[in-house]
A and B are shown apart, each in its own frame.
Chain A
Amino acid sequence: MFVPCNRGGGSASPDFKGFTLLMPAVSVGNVGQLAIDLVISTLDMTKVGYFYTDCLVPMVGNNPYATGEENSVELSINAEVYSLPSKKLVVLQIRSPFIKNKYRPFCQALLSWVKSSKCARVVVLSSSHAYQRDDEQLLGTPLRYLLTPDLEKAVGGLMQELNWKEMEKVAAYPGINDTEKILHIPGGGITKLLFTESCSKGIQMAVLLKFCSEGDNIPDAFALVNYLNEWLQLIKSDVSSNDSTDTSSQWKIPSSWRLLFGNGLPPALF
């Protein structure tokens, strides 16, 4: 599944032992993927490989994080892995949707790669349909987290200190039987499957998600990546600003975010 890039020197597979794997779920508004783009672009991460998989729709383009002529011609495909050893961080970016019936094999292959590469923990950035919130969820923060039992032991306390809100469970049979509660993440793509599989496989996984709707999801991506930063401290917060958790201005928007909402207009229209 994972194919390392040859970068001159050694062709050995990079070592991710003890690293944190950060990845998106393809979910409503593509918020997780946009947030991952911000992380890769801001931290100037190096591509170390890709996933050779038949589970995602194929796509290819030139380097989405290009900053100039010299680095704009490297090909980029649908599932690529970037790393920043100084922060023990490895990031997977997924750029296309799943092919029908292929999301389960992908989850299985991914989690087995997580185990074999000995990543310490996995953080999944995701989102869920805002219109499915109940009355209580409509108030307060739209950001939620989930921790597998193994990670709960390690960082559960920190989440309390950060005053984060855990994703609520919903009734399995609403209106009929309110006692049986299940986890439900509508619009979250593979988030729930990854989380439940990680619980049963003893993988340390955290899910960070935001309630949102389809539209201009750039502000949602910033909110999610700032939420992540409260925990992982990937970039320093700007101490001079009033709100010490607002780091919006310090995330670097990649060049591929140009023209997200279409081309320029023909002058003849007016």
Chain B
Amino acid sequence: MATFFGEVVVAPSRAGVDDESAEEACEETPEDREIRRELEKKREVDVLWTLKSGAPAGSCAGEPFACSKFIVAIGRNAAAFLSSFILDSVCWEVVGVVKLWNEWCRTSNTTNVLPTDSFCLFYRLISDPTVLLCQCSCYVAEDQQFQWLEKVFGCMQKEGLQVTILSTCPVADYKTQESTLTLTSPFLKALKTKEFKEQVCCPLLEQPNIVRDLPAA
């Protein structure tokens, strides 16, 4: 980051822990605790399913539903890919929505969304209701990622479940011996668990590249 002469820039430590906040936490007053609790409630992730037609939207209660394939598209590019090439109103029906708020975006529990909105919707293949798809174009903050994961996957039977995650990253973040300027982009890379036995359609992600945030979670 370029600075002008005389500007002092405090470089953040890679350690990522702010010692001052560590000390303050010890001296939390009841008012601080109350504020923190309210903030946590505001940042809660709500997953609302409308799986049975006619049944009211509700969170997952009772038995987890059967799911053989779950495709998750995270980020605007991946969500747009699904909208352009996979989703249509004939073969797919909306079965769920995630409602959350953070400093970057707010979603709502409406299922009637515009492509430019931030949303997180679940669809089911009408001809095979065990195939689920998720379009998540909103940003799920660090402290919400685990919650999202537990609440979404908590409602599904995980036996025999195959999960495919679609996501994009900037080419500038890709670590390689050559400069990224000379790379032909876009290009695909994959990560897979050892339980995934099928053929992967592209090369695997090389060290030292990593994936973070919701796709990693």
Contacts and interface: CB of A to CB of B under 8 A. Distances in A.
Interface of A: 26-30, 54, 57-64, 66, 72-75, 77-78, 96-104, 129, 186-190, 192-193, 214, 255-260, 262-268
A262 B193 CA distance: 27
Interface residue range, chain B: 35 or more
B195 to A, nearest CB: 10
B38 interface: no
Contact of B17 (A27, A257, A259): A27
Contacts of B177: 259, 263-264
Interface string B177-217: 11111100000000111100000000011111111111111
B178 A98 contact: no
Contact of B179 (A29, A260, A266): A266
Given A30-B15, A57-B212, A266 B181 contact: yes
B179 A62 contact: no
B47 to A, nearest CB: 16
A192 B20 CA distance: 13
**DSSP majority for the A interface?**
loop
B149 to A, nearest CB: 9
A98 B13 CA distance: 13
The 4 closest A-B pairs by CB, nearest first: A97-B16, A54-B146, A61-B210, A266-B179
Nearest to A127: B15
Given A60-B210, A101-B36, A103-B17, 19 more contacts: A28-B15, A29-B13, A54-B147, A59-B212, A66-B207, A72-B206, A75-B193, A78-B216, A98-B17, A99-B142, A100-B143, A101-B25, A103-B22, A189-B17, A259-B208, A263-B174, A263-B175, A264-B177, A266-B179
B41 interface: no
Contacts, number: 130
Contacts of A78: 216
A59 B15 contact: no
Contacts of B16: 26, 97-98, 189
A72 B194 CA distance: 12
B19 interface: yes
Interface in B24-67: 25, 36
Q: Could you say which of A62, A64, A66, A75 has the most chain B C-beta atoms within 10 Å of its C-beta?
A: A62
